[in-house]
A and B are shown apart, each in its own frame.
Chain A
């Protein structure tokens, strides 16, 4: 980043900070923002005309889906940094409607970023009182929560009708607002909170993600992966494309996700690794290290991933062979399947597997037989053991050879 860009970024952050604490007068804009992935100033704005089917919101206001504009802000290098949409709507309750006029912002990964109310615009509650500063902060906090219970609460549940079903009492503060809903809304503004949350997590979010995907480059994926926001990281993992160069930096960034801590992260990180990446010995060795320390579920994912590579690295074969009988029957047999599928043939492995022919667990010995029968071997001792095994377990072999 150049000095000039650094300066611009600092100014931009200062403006944001200023906005975050500025709801003291209606003549000033009211803004609350979270940290975006790309902290650079906007250079250009692109308008995308879209049909927004804000299902929940439209069904409340009985509006048909309509054309609206989604704005995309980009850096001077053409990198998308955020999106926004002007919301002009009404919040109606008990036949009374109040206007809703503000701008909602999304990060490039679809994550909610913030909102902006123009000078003289404000949000109001059921009693027409304007929001106070702490209520704007609370609104921002609620909108940041993508997992809010508002996702599964229907519009009618905001009122006392649904409170019976939810087995809750009426709140007594906002009159009709169900008590169970209170923790999820700005007090006195259930409908405003609800509508805005559904705007944020409605169709616009999908549009935002789709637009970013269109301009996604390997360097942008890396930038998103470096985000401190966990949902951004997850988004990046899911969008690592085949055109990525799997250098040490990327391997080192992705590998820590393959652990017991979060199954989905491990699955997504492994999905991101393609066959070409697996031809890199560092990648295979890294996966092996993860295999040794992971739980059963992740171990299986890693073994499956190895099968996608062009061949199995000798170090990996050596390590798996050395520890073959220590993994428990199920994983041992899965390793034997991997060896068979990857056509692993070397004396050490063959001899180690041959030892398993006398394993008391027939599931394991049959797995060893299957592997040894599938590979070419000239070892007379092993051939003899195979013949003996075949005589002893002819019925069992017949069954697994279906």
Chain B
């Protein structure tokens, strides 16, 4: 795959992550087995957990650098700070565990029962790994906070009566983007003290992700409309329709990819010669015919 800076990794109901060129003009390729969520850290690595329970960390060349079979709980959320991956999962009885892993997949720490008796709607963490923002399904108008190193709840961040939170994105400067819906569709950018810095309305912001350079305002939003999606750049301000590639695929989450350090050439890789195999299977092209098998005999009188 040729990965350009600012390509999109899109998790849909059918695929995930699918890699799209920055303008969505090209579906560059699919990365792995179906997975509905994932997140990227600052160095470009991203983590997914596929539907078979395999945790994978990929480098910017979209090569898996860490794999582990885990028992995925449901529901499951994956977020990332600058250097850590965060996996929040429920054991099925509303007992939530937060697992923090480093860029190589090693478990830094686990916080069992960080929340109990609630259903978490979504969460995100600050780049300095100190504050976790989240909201509950039962009180969607309130954004709550949790002190990660202190292992203790913090005062609520904001309450927006009659609105329901859809998603949270904590930006590197510790400002917070919340997508709201129901009363109206709004995206509001708050300071860390919950002062409104920017807002936009009229759009239904379902999913949020940082832009490739992790700049404060340079984030992207995916807008779901049942079976098709649009994307929106807060900094740029204009909504752009997606290509038809995503038609029929409801987006579950997405991230914006850092530039690949290596352009991965098509069909590069290590292959094995398999006795009696009657075709060639390649890393990009898939299964193809063995090229051009032939023999020519030259017999006297052929001229």
A and B: bona fide binding partners: no
